[in-house]
Structure 1
Amino acid sequence: MEDRFDMGTGLESDNASKKEKEKSGKENEKDEEKLWEKKSPAAAEASSQEKGSRDSSTKQKSVRKEEVVAMYQKLEEFLKSEDFEEDFRKVLEISNPKYLKVLEKRRRDIERSDHGIVVAGETSAGKSTLINKILEKKLFRGRNLESTSTVCKIRNSESVRIIIENVSGKNEVIHLSECDVNTEKGLKKLRGTLKDLTDMTLSNESKQYRCVDIGFPIPLLKGDTILVDTPGIGGSGEVSHKLMDYLPNALSFVFVINVASAGGMQRDRLPEILRSLIDLKIDDEMPCFDPRDVIFVTNKWDTIPKEESDSEEEDEETKTWKNIRTEIKAKWPAVNEEYIYKLSLTEVAPNKMNDSIQQFKEFQNVLMINIEKAESARVTEHLRFLQELLRNITKNLNARRQLYEKSEEEQNALTKKHQEEIDALRKRCKEVEKNLKTRISVHIETSAEVSYKYVSSSVGRINILHPAGMKSIMDVCDDPEKCAEEVNRRFNTYVNSYLKSEKVVKEFTLIQKDTETFYRETSLKLYHMEMEWTEIRNKEKTNITGSNELSAFEIAAAIILLPLALPLIVFAFAVGIATVATAPLRAFWNWLTGIEEKKKKL
């Protein structure tokens, strides 16, 4: 039996959902009691303890979240009150820019009820098929054309039900009380209902849905963690924007890449999502998102021809795998290479054993880690943020208290001393910046010149166009267009190989190390200056001198907690150097093109 109710603005939705949950809960409890009668006393007791443990854990997590929300509200209230004086606000604004706006964004984030793991990818990449494999149920029908019209949230629920959220804000609920998803008949009914709601090829009405929330028993999804199926990237604009709008709600991502589509990474599609994630992270719209948790599933390897050849030349599959890994690392530098999987989802099936199944099992293990992490990620991250902010406020207050205990002469002396040290650091920053940029420019020009001379020589041209292990360029030039493409590919192979060579990389590595060393030394000096104002240096001295190196957290803390603007200058300088250091390829091309243009003019 299928019951569909109008939920108005959504308020009735909560009541209907609660009643359904209470009714379902009572029915489940009765069923469990009947089962316990058939169990041994020991088994019944173990089941009871397990159920009680789950309920207790869920309640504790809910309480923790409510406590964090209350902390944010109280902190915002205090920072806006007259008790927090204007001069304190100015100091806090320096160390934590736009702190009130950041607090508001953070509070909104912790108040989100769902912990979404988003499955995204280009149209027909295999997103829905992957979700079917994860759930071990054919929930969605795979199609070769764009069909998914909206965001589909999939969550663990005691009962089978679907909640439809309209663009207008009006919600509806569909109760599938007689639908047993563990039977083919029940699963077919759920699948058919979802198709009617989400398939744009059947009805334009589905485009008016902001999202479809699907609930049925899914033990692997713990707490409020959900899987999110999304419209294909690069599809119709009115559908793609729903994915972009949902991005800030996500905690983790699984990107599905179709290797048969232009090598898998369309320049204007998937990279656009990756850029959006970076922007949202920088703007503090996704404070709990960890870029290192992103998973890439490269799919449809069965469409890449497997060529057998006696030559040492790489086959198409090997070349595609290398290229796509390089593309992913270039577009998402934080990627863990072990989180890039190579498989064909059509080959993943029960009672089979092949490379795709092995890769899928490894993917499942990492996904489970992300699911378990998502369960507590928001609370953990927000507690860490609040701890740092409160520590900063406390230190500023403590510094003010200590300041009152110093005489005017002592205050002036310490201020003068630190001002001189800061002026010296500013001067030193400019000197080091100029020196490092000069080293980078000189090394780029020298490397480009060496490479240009090699390319211009007869030996270089022979080695580039006729490399060992590959067919001669003349044997693959059947027509001018293919010949030009192959020449360009072989030249790019040489350029990439040269830029990764030890002689080129070595100097950039030294520059990077020198930058990091200067950054750490400067941060430590600033940290010591702060300690002189708060007079807690002796208590923390063991933590500083106990190790030869500062941890990443200590460097970050030195920057965040210091009530001075200079650390921001140092950080911007470090980022600037890092940006310049990633430019050798672009600069090389510009330099090389410039020489060719000059030669043409002559």
Structure 2
Amino acid sequence: MAEERSSSLTSGSDGGSRVSAEEVASAADDLLASLDLLVRCSLSTEGLTSVEEAQDRLYHHLQGRARGSEPQRSPSKVMGAIQDEVKRDSHVRVQLLKVLSQAEEYLHGLDQPQKDQLDAAPGVQGWEDKLTWYQDRLTRNDCPILVAGETSAGKSSILNMLLGEEILPYSLLSTTSVICELKYGAKRCAVAHLTEPDPTTGGDTVDIAFQDTVPVMQQLAPYVQQRGDRSAPSPYKKVEIFWPLAYLKGGIVIVDSPGIGESDDMTKHVISYLPQAFAFIYVINSGTAGGVQEDRLQNLLKMISEKKDGDWLHHFNPEAAIFVCNKWDQVPGKEADEVKHDTWKKLKRCWPGIKEHQLYYLSAKTAFSQFRAAGILTKDFEELTHGIEELLPASLHNRLESTYKWLSNLLKRSAFCQRVQICSALMSADQRQREYLDIMDRIDKLESRAEAVMQGLEKELNTSVRQAIESLETYLINEKQTITRWTEQEAPTAKDFSVINEETANLIRQRLQTVVNCWKDSTRPFQKIQDDLMRRFQEEFRPVEDQVAAIRVAMEHGGGAAEELTVSADSGQQSLDLINTQWTPGQKVAIALTSPIWLPFAIVAGVIYLPVAGIKTLYNKIVTEQKMKTYHTDKARFMRERAEETLESFCEGSNLRKVMDSHMAAVWQWFGALRESIPALLRAEKRLLQSVQQEKTQNRKAVGYYKTFYQQCLQLQGKLDKLYMRDIRKYEIDYGSIICDRTTDFISEGSFGAVYRASLKKADGSSQPVALKILKDDILDTVSEFLVEEDNLKRMQHPNVVRFLGSSCRKTKSGRLELFMVLELCDTTLKRVIFHGQQNIPAKHKVDSPAFIKAREFLRTNALQIASGLAYIHGNGLVHRDLKLDNILMKKGTVKIADLGLAKPMEIIAGTSHAGALLYAAPEKLRGEVYNFKADVYSFGLLLWEMWYGIHVFKNLESASDLAFVEKIKEGARPDLVGKTAPSGEWAAMMEECWDGDANRRPAARTISERLQELKQAEM
């Protein structure tokens, strides 16, 4: 071992004499020589009892020196840095609480029908209680770091190491039996909380005053440790320990919990803390055979997945966890890599989405003794403290982020309800009745269709389960030899009949378990079922979601409501379509509303753990006293026969189905949530319609009444968004990594900002050319637009749509927040390629000439790419609204649709403004009507005409005023298809169909794409 260490260390100068790694290695067997080297290094020899311990101290000293001048991150420094982050978080929480208070005032000012409408909506049900809960959560200054883990894994030792003092009791036996909370206190003391009030005094707490003459651990032991039957309930539910540690002042609370898996009650104690914890440290006992006790961690996840409170799990972030493999010094050096691989494999099975940076290897005993005796921080200890330092800020941010999202969703639902009220108030009684009956009829039909879809998906899910069972059965049969082959050395050594029976059952169960886990790892059945179900759900429910969107449009527009719904919010004008939800219909309808955060836990918890009781029952049936007489004669044969009988019984009848069903329960639960999501949403819309229908006051007075609330709601949403962008939002790209000269790198101006060429520095030192969009105005005026465009771009992953790389920001010297979008850099625009040369314009060439055929193919190729990108945008529930050649970019001959800043989800579009260029606006937009995807198809038809002729559309009307132009278009004016090389046949038909005055007769973008592909074959 000494030789292995010396090969990886280098010497250097320090406070004492120079000592080389070679000198340390030469003293590996000599205690006195090792102690002498410690003295030469000015290191303490306190507490050393063996040459191994002395060598360890020397080794860690040299290891630290080999890291050079790299500063050591002591626990106090790490906790100090965390405290700074806690202070910053406290400042933002105060600001967010102000907005919550203003929202509370607004919401409580609503009349009861409006409150009831909110309470019926999925995602915000029970909003009054939740509002109070979020306020309480933000008000709390404590920041718990929960430490849990396997029994006797050394949790308390690790905590003492982080604290720098031996406070919490520990021993070789299982110790902590109750929750221990370590908090800041000017005076050292503790308070034990009783499970039941004291029968004598009636008190529910016991004060613990520490005596200076007795070790603190010894004084705490009677309250936190439980000897004897640890399954029996403890008289104490938790112990608060107050300690004058400076870095606990900011509200950091260190929580030591009972060992996972000892009993369900103890595990429930841990689970109850998870939503409160801002960091979760799980300690693994690496010194035991097998390492990770999968069944215990699995049980924790199973209990998590069984909690049906989506809000509860929304605040538990599986990424805010660290796994510490303690007692690493007990793992033989030659086996370390194998143990690491096995540990990682097991954790991947047990914890959803775990990353390698969440796993640490450590000997708390060694680390603490080295630090206490010689002030040495071992490398593994430093890595752990750095991991904790990175972990907590992310969890603090999660609290702010989740609060923002919930409140934003609530305000957006309220704004929607107000719009529906305004729309209804503007209608006549007859019109309102007709609209009501029509929409209710559409909802009833949609409910029936949604149920039919879910019945089909249920059949598919049952088929998937049956196929998984068949796959497992086939796998078990093929692995029969693995399960049934035993040696005498592997058999139990006990003599008692019942003990042999018990041990044999456990051994065969473990062997069977290993084989089943191999099947699961190779086929990933539960994940596959989940992925297939989600994919099919999205496919089948796309039309349903579109109809939900159409119903919502019908509910919130009509009767002249469009003009009433544009109101002032702060200093800017925010129209209704800018304040709507940023989520797509699909996300709102089901996926986001069913709290899928817990689903990965449910799926992981579905790792097949064979029921011990079931296997034992099989043995009780097949193992007789007579068979036991042959056991000691041929143990291997006995084990083989028992394994064969177990495997046969396990695979026959309904046994395998029962096992699979028990682990599919979570998937079925999730399926049930999906099934309920559409009806729940439609019920909410029904209730809203019924409430509005019963409203007696339907006049301009009612419009003013609801418009006041609507404006208040918009203003609150604006404040919330501004706070989010300034102090909560985490940006993907650091501004310091962007290189741009605004004086020379200007490209163009878009809808909401200027675009520049820039370079993005990467971590490896290289750089990437990018396009940088800089918003024109202050965040105070453009936050809603920014969020909408960013959300649109994030969801666009298509070769014919400009790729979004991330956002960034910086605060100017004046305090203004400047926002940036980093986008894929393109070469030019399609307009420039066409208009700056005649070779790509069919109308400029003689029909059927080689130049004409080449130009026509250029048009077809690029039109096909535009249609493909447009179909993708529409498939994601968005309407571009500003489709023109200026917004079609080119990169290496490939079309890229750009400038999605005006794109909106279809359900929130009303003809309230002529967004986009007036020349390309569809007639229904110009008439102020509700419009949909077909508005983009109209614009596409005009683009085809421009690409064919190489001139701007409607040049014959360029002298007309805007008002006159609009009237001409509404009357049916369209570009002329004239000239010697005018488009004919399918080309002319496609243009005319696209710009048809009736949107319903226009083809879908996907249909256009298919026709353009067919056109290539026809023209060859």
Asked if Structure 1 and Structure 2 have the same fold, meaning a TM-score greater than 0.5 normalized by the shorter chain, the answer is yes
Which position in structure 2 is the counterpart of 1:98? 126
108-117 vs 278-287, which deviates more? 278-287
Which position in structure 2 is the counterpart of 1:289? 316
* Structure with greater Cα Rg: 2
Q: CA deviation at 1:92?
A: 1.0
**Structure 1 residues 39-50: aligned runs within 5 Å:** none
Alpha-carbon distance between aligned partners in 1 of 2:651 and 2:238, rounded to the nearest angstrom: 54
**Structure 1 residues 336-415: aligned runs within 5 Å:** 336=355, 338-348=357-367, 350=370, 360-375=381-396, 377-415=398-436
Q: CA deviation at 1:506?
A: 6.4
Q: CA deviation at 1:531?
A: 4.0
**Alignment CA distance shift 1:301-1:58 (3 Å):** closer
**Structure 1 residues 201-600: aligned runs within 5 Å:** 210-219=238-247, 223-233=250-260, 249-259=276-286, 260=288, 264-265=292-293, 267=295, 273-274=300-301, 282=309, 284=311, 288-303=315-330, 317=339, 321=343, 324-325=346-347, 328-329=350-351, 333=352, 335-336=354-355, 338-348=357-367, 350=370, 360-375=381-396, 377-449=398-470, 452=473, 455-456=476-477, 461-462=480-481, 464=482, 473-474=486-487, 477-478=490-491, 488-501=509-522, 509-519=531-541, 522-523=544-545, 525-535=547-557, 553-554=583-584, 558-559=588-589, 571=594, 596-597=652-653
**Alignment CA distance shift 1:597-1:393 (3 Å):** closer
Which position in structure 2 is the counterpart of 1:86? 112
Q: CA deviation at 1:61?
A: 5.4
Q: CA deviation at 1:595?
A: 6.0
Which position in structure 2 is the counterpart of 1:192? 215
Alpha-carbon distance between aligned partners in 2 of 1:510 and 1:237, rounded to the nearest angstrom: 34
Query: CA contact under 8 A between 1:121 and 1:127: conserved in structure 2?
Result: yes
**Alignment CA distance shift 1:381-1:596 (3 Å):** closer
Query: SS in structure 2 opposite 1:292?
Result: coil
Query: SS in structure 2 opposite 1:295?
Result: strand
Higher helix share: 1
Q: CA deviation at 1:240?
A: 7.9
Q: CA deviation at 1:111?
A: 2.8
- Number of equivalent positions: 496
Alpha-carbon distance between aligned partners in 1 of 2:393 and 2:249, rounded to the nearest angstrom: 7
Query: CA contact under 8 A between 1:225 and 1:374: conserved in structure 2?
Result: no
Query: CA contact under 8 A between 1:297 and 1:342: conserved in structure 2?
Result: yes
**Alignment CA distance shift 1:195-1:384 (3 Å):** farther
Give ranges in structure 1 of 5+ residues lacking alignment: 1-52, 177-188, 309-313, 467-471, 545-549, 560-566
**Alignment CA distance shift 1:76-1:129 (3 Å):** same
Q: Residues 453-473 of structure 1: CA distance to partner in whole angstroms, max 9, x if unpaired?
A: 56557xx545x459xxxxx74
Q: Residues 7-62 of structure 1: CA distance to partner in whole angstroms, max 9, x if unpaired?
A: xxxxxxxxxxxxxxxxxxxxxxxxxxxxxxxxxxxxxxxxxxxxxx9999988755
Query: CA contact under 8 A between 1:118 and 1:252: conserved in structure 2?
Result: yes
Alpha-carbon distance between aligned partners in 2 of 1:403 and 1:490, rounded to the nearest angstrom: 68
Q: CA deviation at 1:142?
A: 3.0
**Alignment CA distance shift 1:241-1:119 (3 Å):** same
Q: CA deviation at 1:253?
A: 1.8
Alpha-carbon distance between aligned partners in 1 of 2:218 and 2:293, rounded to the nearest angstrom: 28
Alpha-carbon distance between aligned partners in 1 of 2:519 and 2:601, rounded to the nearest angstrom: 20
Q: Residues 296-338 of structure 1: CA distance to partner in whole angstroms, max 9, x if unpaired?
A: 3233355567787xxxxx9984685266325523xxx364464
Which position in structure 1 is the counterpart of 2:704? none
Q: CA deviation at 1:144?
A: 1.8
Query: CA contact under 8 A between 1:222 and 1:371: conserved in structure 2?
Result: no
**Alignment CA distance shift 1:307-1:486 (3 Å):** farther
94-103 vs 590-599, which deviates more? 590-599
Which position in structure 2 is the counterpart of 1:126? 154
Query: CA contact under 8 A between 1:105 and 1:285: conserved in structure 2?
Result: no
**Alignment CA distance shift 1:91-1:402 (3 Å):** same
Query: SS in structure 2 opposite 1:97?
Result: coil
Which position in structure 2 is the counterpart of 1:144? 172
Alpha-carbon distance between aligned partners in 1 of 2:316 and 2:270, rounded to the nearest angstrom: 16
Alpha-carbon distance between aligned partners in 2 of 1:55 and 1:569, rounded to the nearest angstrom: 34
Q: CA deviation at 1:119?
A: 0.9
Query: SS in structure 1 opposite 2:278?
Result: strand
Alpha-carbon distance between aligned partners in 2 of 1:424 and 1:335, rounded to the nearest angstrom: 44
Alpha-carbon distance between aligned partners in 1 of 2:273 and 2:504, rounded to the nearest angstrom: 45
Give ranges in structure 2 of 5+ residues lacking alignment: 1-80, 195-202, 228-233, 494-499, 567-574, 616-646, 656-1020
Q: CA RMSD, aligned part only?
A: 5.5
Aligned amino acid, residue 425 of structure 1: L
Query: SS in structure 1 opposite 2:137?
Result: helix
Alpha-carbon distance between aligned partners in 2 of 1:392 and 1:246, rounded to the nearest angstrom: 31
**Alignment CA distance shift 1:67-1:202 (3 Å):** closer
**Alignment CA distance shift 1:341-1:191 (3 Å):** farther
Normalization by structure 2: what TM-score?
Answer: 0.40
Structure 2 residue aligned with 1:164, among 191, 196, 203?
A: 191
Query: CA contact under 8 A between 2:302 and 2:605: conserved in structure 1?
Result: no
Which position in structure 1 is the counterpart of 2:829? none
Alpha-carbon distance between aligned partners in 2 of 1:455 and 1:276, rounded to the nearest angstrom: 28
Query: CA contact under 8 A between 1:244 and 1:273: conserved in structure 2?
Result: yes
Alpha-carbon distance between aligned partners in 2 of 1:401 and 1:574, rounded to the nearest angstrom: 36
Q: Which has the higher contact order (CA 8 A, sep 6+)?
A: 1
